[in-house]
Structure 1
Amino acid sequence: SARIAKHRGELKSLLRNQAVGAGIGNAYSDEILWHARLNPQRRLSTLSLEDRHALYDSMRSVLSTSVAIARDRYARKLHPLHKQDRSFMNIHLKGQAKGKTSCPRCGHRISVIHARGAETYFCRGCQK
């Protein structure tokens, strides 16, 4: 969309921008970028068409998985309903172990950077 095309910042801030994608917060943006194999510090302008497709496909996949899990919890009346099941996450939860875990895809140590009061977890080995 035109809103996305105008974005000049890093991919992580693009995903967390509620005007671009409502509901994508810190954890989901980490997962989306990990699945797309994109470094959170890259800028949209540096992405190839293939990278852009990977980002879009990753957004759909991660958010669809999250919605399916929430729908299942609601259907089974699991309480509290407001708590999210993040067991499907590959990078964000492992990163919260403070550098003690490795990337499930390539085995490289998970890195953390701090920006705007949030921690970003990513793999320097496979996220370019």
Structure 2
Amino acid sequence: MPEMPEVEGLVRFLRERTAGLRVAKAQVAQVAALKTFDPPVTAVVGAAVTGAQRHGKFVDLVLGDELHLIFHLAKAGWLRWSDRLPDTVIKPGRSPIALRVGFDDGSGFDLTEAGTKKSLAVYVARGPGEVPGIASLGPDPLDEAFTEEAFARTVAGRRTQIKGLLREQSVIAGIGNAYSDEILHAARMSPYAIAATLGADDVARLYAAMRSVLTEAVEAASGRPPAELKDAKRRGMAVHARAGHPCPVCGDTVRSVFFADRSMEYCPTCQTGGKPLADRRLSRLLK
């Protein structure tokens, strides 16, 4: 799933590449992907691009003074850019393409989604606040206003595992499964630690890890075209999706815990006092 650093990379690319261009076409190929009807998607045709913004994991292409083309790539979505958009006709239901947007210089992009579970979402809105998922977002983890003190207030008193809390978009916007693994590894903290039990030193260490991991990932994504962002993300991972490989910090073997639709990775030596965590299907910690 694209997370905050990759989405920020997409936004910066679109901001630079599409500034001043006008939308020449907007074709919805997967009707279920379009979540709004007023304004209609046809309203974006002819509008000039005046900016691009990120809200958590949402991309917001600003059109003129009143319109926003907003999309969320969900788990298996991606943006495929073309300097010269193909002339081929998209056949609904027979292509991974959910939306095609073309500009007046011939360039454009397709929003694609792999797999059978379709969760990619597209909105045409008069403002980002009209999108429910954006309206409910928590603070951005790299916002200067989101200080260590603000972070401490966020986790205080919450009787929930810190891994889940980092991924909760209404609490902190933009962090998903991969970067929560990376942040917890950098903080040397168990993903099962309960937020309310963290001491001041734990909170400070976790906050510093969150800021450093995400800042480095955003820098790695910045300036890259969309086609390179996924590989850049994979190369930057210390533990996520690296089960069976040695931990780059201590050399122990990175382990996985599997859930219904995802897994998490961690280092036992760095994060859990040397104890492997049981597969969640067993619902217990190995003794």
TMscore range, shorter length: 0.7 to 0.9
**Secondary structure of residue in 1 paired with 2:271:** coil
Q: d(CA) in 1 for partners of 2:245 and 2:229?
A: 28
Match of 1:13 in 2: 164
Match of 1:80 in 2: 227
Confirm or deny: 8 A CA contact 1:70 1:84 kept in the other structure: no
Q: d(CA) in 1 for partners of 2:205 and 2:231?
A: 25
Match of 2:251 in 1: 107
- Runs of 5+ consecutive residues of structure 1 not aligned to the other structure: none
Letter in 1 for 2:240: H
Q: d(CA) in 2 for partners of 1:49 and 1:70?
A: 32
Counting only pairs closer than 5 Å after superposition, residues 53-92 of structure 1 correspond to structure 2 as: 53-73=204-224, 78-80=225-227, 83=230, 85-86=232-233, 87-92=235-240
| Number of residue pairs matched by the alignment | 120
Alignment TM-score, normalising by the size of structure 2: 0.39
Q: d(CA) in 2 for partners of 1:37 and 1:79?
A: 31
Shift of 1:4: 2.7
Match of 2:268 in 1: 124
- Please, which moves more after superposition, 108-117 or 47-56? 108-117
Confirm or deny: 8 A CA contact 2:185 2:266 kept in the other structure: yes
- Runs of 5+ consecutive residues of structure 2 not aligned to the other structure: 1-149, 273-287
Q: Which has the higher helix share?
A: 1
Match of 1:94 in 2: 242
Post-superposition, which runs of at least 4 consecutive aligned residues in structure 1 deviate over 4 A?
none
Q: d(CA) in 1 for partners of 2:204 and 2:230?
A: 31
- Please, which moves more after superposition, 111-120 or 80-89? 80-89
Greater RCO (CA < 8 Å, at least 6 residues apart): 1
Q: d(CA) in 1 for partners of 2:212 and 2:267?
A: 19
**Secondary structure of residue in 2 paired with 1:80:** helix
Q: d(CA) in 1 for partners of 2:173 and 2:259?
A: 20
Q: Deviations over 1:28-82 (max 9, x none)?
A: 0000000000010111122221111110001101111111122131xxxx34266
Percent of counterpart pairs with the same letter? 38
**Secondary structure of residue in 1 paired with 2:160:** coil
